[in-house]
Structure 1
Amino acid sequence: MNTDKISIIGVPMDLGQMRRGVDMGPSAIRYAGVVERLEAIGHQVEDLGDIEIGRAEKMVPQDTNLRNLKAVAEASEQLAFTVNDVVQQGHFPLVLGGDHSIAIGTIAGVAKNYDNLGVIWYDAHGDLNTAETSPSGNIHGMPLAASLGIGHDTLTNISGYLPKIKPENIVIIGARSLDEGERELIKEKGIKVYTMHEIDRLGMTAVMSEAISYLKERTDGVHLSLDLDGLDPSDAPGVGTPVLGGISYRESHLAMEMLEEAKIITSAEFVEVNPILDEKNKTASVAVALMGSLFGEKLL
């Protein structure tokens, strides 16, 4: 991975779900010192500021139950354009969220530049819902499905092509809350998933070793999409959909360190930091600490 030059893109998106505050995630991560942390490791960092997000839509479109579909799609198009531009310049795109619906735009912008983009989805949830399977209509539960070309046309066609990724190029890590429709899709598509059961049983070292070797064989770049709710709420309380029994802070550092050693990550996003639900900006600080490990920070 070429991380000599890192371009930070903030996406203050809170329209993919119902809890206010996650739009302040990028600001909280910046306040926690992300630029200074990465520069201290030796990287050149440029902060491109924030993608503009439209307003919440008062009416849900009659042909779908998807909330704020138009505004989410417009922001996704803008983000995809910016991310693609960053990759074209040979820089590493680091996207700060915002809710997880932003991954639709990030992956759309990255995948244009790879024949076989791999994705590590570090998350308590699968985010593989569609309008038909979603209990809520919240788009932050759909970005992985949309990137596979499954779901509403408006979301699957961001950047004018689909699918962005193949199911065999995905590894989900940390899953512990899956809806019925998501479980069926995982089985049908053969998506590789390491639930908390596997992490507990095998240990994080074995899980990451397997995931890395699996993706190295079949991909020409790997995007890391890290939802802070993948971690246990005791370590990352400031998230909109916390699920008990998550990945520990230390296990997450180990995972990031192993990804850095493997040199396979070519783009990344850190999402679902909600400072309103947080304790003294703890979750944003955790996000920045994990970025430190991902980008080569060492204790000795």
Structure 2
Amino acid sequence: MNSSTPHLSSSSQWEDGHTPIDQPQRVRLIGAPCDAGAARAGARLGPDALRIAGLADALAAQGVAVQDGGNLRGPASAVHRQPRPDRSGLHHLDACVRWCGLVHEAVAQALAGGSLPLLLGGDHHLAMGSIPAVAQHCARQGKTLRVVWLDAHADCNDARSSPSGNIHGMPVSVLLGHGPQALQALARPPLPATALRQVGLRSVDAAEKARIARFGIEAYDMRAIDELGMPEVMRRVLRDVHAPDVHLHLSFDVDFLDPELAPGTGTTARGGPTYREAQLCMEMLADTGCLGSMDLVELNPVLDVRNQTAELVLDLLQSLFGKSTLVRAAS
């Protein structure tokens, strides 16, 4: 956030002596109704499903001024799985590149205007548009960027290793400087691997395992969460995330959540975090006071049950923006 962004001062205190969470008060919603990078149609309906579920009111209840920028208008691309194109080996490459360009521009404008951009997807390939815009903003502001990637999948394939050819399975590789040139051009300069922390992994391809090790990505799978506990995992993830020098970007894939809690997503994987573990993630992210931008992706209302996934996501977002059961002392 730039210096003009309104926020709660980290030095101010409530009358009882507790320090409030330092959070931006102005959020700009950016809808990207695109599922060109996904395996199943429906994520394009995610932005409007979140609005219908009451996203703006949920954020306003936490003292956030919400500016809804509406939905971006990009190329249509129905998700029909034909044999892979011979040229790229990827589905809907041109459409994905165009969508990411639109997202990049919208996120950059929100940041320049002093707002926290909340990207409403759409599928996760859109992070190749949002995160580079955030990185460039941080470079101009002299901020250190930290990206927390909550996801069941590593998203670390490329055109050769991807078993599906779906581009939502490769944004991490591209953001770190690997993958098709048309996609790498969106993410310049590439992120250093040290900027990225992945949490919740439990569906990782063999090639992705090797890349995580080779790239040096800090990744916590569900076994790590089981053994260490979510509090310790998040303490490690956030160990160097401190206001005011760090800009925290949250890339939140709905399939991070256990599908028994959140069925409304296209690539579910059993054995995900519980409701309380997910809430703790959000609360600890909020406690940093560093949240400056966010992706919320892969909500597929076509697959949801009585809108329970959208409603759960709004519940978690309220915690991310400061809702808590009690006033908590600053750590």
Q: How many residues align?
A: 297
Cα deviation 1:128-165 (Å, max 9, x = unaligned): 11101101010010111111111111111117x231x1
1:131 aligns with 2:159: yes
CA distance in 1, matches of 2:93, 2:73: 15
Identity %: 39
**Please, which runs of 5 or more residues in structure 1 have no aligned partner?**
none
Q: Which amino acid aligns with 2:132?
A: A
CA distance in 1, matches of 2:64, 2:325: 17
CA distance in 2, matches of 1:81, 1:44: 22
More helix, by proportion: 1
Residue of structure 1 equivalent to 2:184: 156
1:299 to partner: Cα distance: 2.5
**Please, which runs of 5 or more residues in structure 2 have no aligned partner?**
1-21, 327-331
With normalisation by structure 1, the TM-score equals: 0.95
Find the partner of 2:111 among 80, 84, 87.
87
Q: 1:24 to 1:7 in 2, by over 3 A?
A: same
CA distance in 1, matches of 2:239, 2:272: 24
Instruction: Check whether the contact 2:242–2:288 (CA below 8 A) recurs between aligned residues.
Output: no
Q: CA RMSD in A?
A: 1.7
With normalisation by structure 2, the TM-score equals: 0.86
CA distance in 2, matches of 1:104, 1:249: 28
1:92 to partner: Cα distance: 0.4
Instruction: Check whether the contact 2:176–2:192 (CA below 8 A) recurs between aligned residues.
Output: yes
CA distance in 1, matches of 2:176, 2:226: 29
- Secondary structure, in 3 states, of the residue corresponding to 2:95? helix
Instruction: Check whether the contact 1:2–1:92 (CA below 8 A) recurs between aligned residues.
Output: no
Find the partner of 2:175 among 147, 161, 177.
147
Find the partner of 1:184 among 197, 201, 210.
210
For 1:129-278, list aligned pairs within 5 A: 129-158=157-186, 161-163=188-190, 165-216=191-242, 220-278=246-304
1:18 to partner: Cα distance: 2.4
Residue of structure 1 equivalent to 2:122: 98
Instruction: Check whether the contact 1:7–1:86 (CA below 8 A) recurs between aligned residues.
Output: yes
Instruction: Check whether the contact 2:158–2:180 (CA below 8 A) recurs between aligned residues.
Output: yes
Instruction: Check whether the contact 1:2–1:91 (CA below 8 A) recurs between aligned residues.
Output: no
Q: Which amino acid aligns with 1:157?
A: A
- Secondary structure, in 3 states, of the residue corresponding to 1:213? coil
1:214 to partner: Cα distance: 4.2
CA distance in 1, matches of 2:251, 2:115: 17
Find the partner of 2:75 among 51, 54, 63.
54
Residue of structure 1 equivalent to 2:53: 32
CA distance in 1, matches of 2:172, 2:225: 21
1:8 aligns with 2:29: yes
